[in-house]
């Protein structure tokens, strides 16, 4: 991955999280964080 691609992806992620915080009060970030934690617990179970 080049520096340019990494920079663009970083800016895109920050923009999407900012938009969620402004428009949806962060509900999507919380939902995705909870689902990610559930997935990691599920993967740890099968390890």
What SS3 state is found at 25?
Answer: coil
The pLDDT value given to residue 31? 96
The pLDDT value given to residue 11? 98
Q: Is the dihedral of CA 9, 11, 16, 17 positive or negative?
A: positive
The pLDDT value given to residue 23? 95
Cα distance between residue 29 and residue 46, in whole Å: 26
Structural domain tally of the chain? 1
Q: Averaged over 24-47, what is the pLDDT? A: 92
The pLDDT value given to residue 45? 77
Residues of the chain above pLDDT 90, percent: 89
Structure tokens at 1: 């991955």
- State which residues form the domain around 38: 3-46
The pLDDT value given to residue 46? 75
**Count of other CB atoms within 10 angstroms of residue 24:** 12
């Amino acid at each position: 991955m080049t520096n340019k691609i990494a920079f663009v992806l970083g800016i895109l992620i920050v923009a999407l999280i900012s938009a969620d915080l402004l428009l949806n009060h962060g509900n999507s970030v919380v939902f995705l964080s909870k689902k990610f934690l559930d997935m990691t617990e599920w993967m740890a179970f099968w390890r």
